[in-house]
Structure 1
């Protein structure tokens, strides 16, 4: 199982930039020569048996058989991955050590065969255990929301029930509110298994509502996805300036 994690995380480090080659980054976040990708490649070659150490573990929600919510043929898992890739590039370009837990359309539950529970619980357990394996300092999970009546819009950041997570959630929520012109407040998520399982500051970022016309247009647009990723990154930068 550990070798499988190493393989998947190695792929995340080596290929995330390549997989998102078409992403237009904000000017301040665009690397001058793409050298961060080459640095990652050299580091992986020099230490092939070492797990990466992450400032931020980016969790691209769902994947594989688990598509998350959907609107017609638009799947949450695809939006989550697109935004997560862009967030990875922005963080890396600013010198933040970031790791993606998946870079393609596959389920993390496939790597978890020791947990005698449902596929869903294996998936959640795998996401939680990765923070310990790579000694991540922050956990940011990317998701898309859904409203039964389709009237709600805007971002919502859900945080672990502890002070550092609440601070991280506050900064990300404020940045997303500015980006989407909303006034939402972050919420504590005591019922969420992943947040309870992880021991580092952790948040779930619901980037918008898939069944709201305006949010859906933003979430399915490369430019909109980049703006969302940039706002999340801004919140992380503010947190890192204040938190030890």
Structure 2
């Protein structure tokens, strides 16, 4: 009986070992399968990402099938460049000289209508012009700053001796026998003594005339060459005479009486002078 029992127990033990072995084999196979599946899944994911990345890199159309718009130049960079150029110009202006000549003065009234005298208008506009140029950094010299008379040759000699970049003489026109005539005009004469092809008296006259007509809304009587006028004939710098308006014309006269108009006249002359100086700066 013992022998039979032993055989039975040995048989059960053997069966148990076989079962354990089979179970271990199954566990190993399952683990290997799980690892292989994970690797395959990872490779598949990477392939998907790579394929889509390549597609994104080569696809230059948007979702509507349209080509993307080209980017415009960076405006901030452009603004910085413009700002730098303006800064250089403003620094350069500090070394420039503008000679302002208020026409007539003292016992020389110039043209007049009753109590409205040219000498007073030209001085007022000239002083306003000087203030504007000073704010722009330009050095300003005057032939007169009070109601005094100055010789013609002394007016232009002031500019020549100072080595001024520009000479501008401010005047008002008049034509008693024809009060219908009105508007602004600019007188000039190219002496050729200043050796500057970039800015001569004629170019300066064109700028002054353009700004006066634009700012003052006056009739454009153009630029006129006047070689016999002393302040133009003796000039060694670009020189012009700005005739703001006609005191003999009722409409022009009412404007000349206005402080607002006089300030606009000063602004027009200022803008023309700054543009002329910028022309020299950009071509120096």
TM-score (norm 2): 0.60
**1:173 maps onto 2:209 in alignment:** yes
2:17 corresponding residue in structure 1: none
**Higher gyration radius (CA):** 2
Q: CA deviation at 1:175?
A: 0.6
1:72 corresponding residue in structure 2: 114
Structure 1 contact 207–228 (Cα < 8 Å) conserved: yes
> What is the aligned length?
178
1:156 corresponding residue in structure 2: 185
Q: 1:102 aligns with which of 129, 144, 157?
A: 144
2:26 corresponding residue in structure 1: none
Q: CA deviation at 1:107?
A: 1.1
Q: CA deviation at 1:66?
A: 0.7
Structure 2 contact 163–237 (Cα < 8 Å) conserved: no
Q: 1:212 aligns with which of 224, 249, 252?
A: 249
In structure 1, stretches of 5+ residues that fail to align are 1-52, 109-122
1:137 corresponding residue in structure 2: 165
2:279 corresponding residue in structure 1: 242
2:34 corresponding residue in structure 1: none
Residue aligned with 1:184, SS: strand
1:124 corresponding residue in structure 2: 152
Higher percent of residues as helix: 2
Structure 1 contact 154–180 (Cα < 8 Å) conserved: no
Q: CA deviation at 1:194?
A: 1.3
Residue aligned with 2:200, SS: helix
1:202 corresponding residue in structure 2: 239
Give the Cα–Cα distance (whole angstroms) in 1 for the partners of residues 223 and 160 of structure 2. 25
**1:88 maps onto 2:130 in alignment:** yes
2:270 corresponding residue in structure 1: 233
Structure 2 contact 184–209 (Cα < 8 Å) conserved: yes
Q: CA deviation at 1:189?
A: 1.2
**1:187 maps onto 2:215 in alignment:** no
Give the Cα–Cα distance (whole angstroms) in 1 for the partners of residues 208 and 160 of structure 2. 23
TM-score (norm 1): 0.69
Give the Cα–Cα distance (whole angstroms) in 1 for the partners of residues 146 and 210 of structure 2. 30
Taking the TM superposition and a 5 Å limit, the aligned residue runs for 1:33-52 are none
Give the Cα–Cα distance (whole angstroms) in 2 for the partners of residues 81 and 54 of structure 1. 22
Which structure's relative contact order is higher, taking Cα pairs within 8 Å and 6+ residues apart?
A: 1
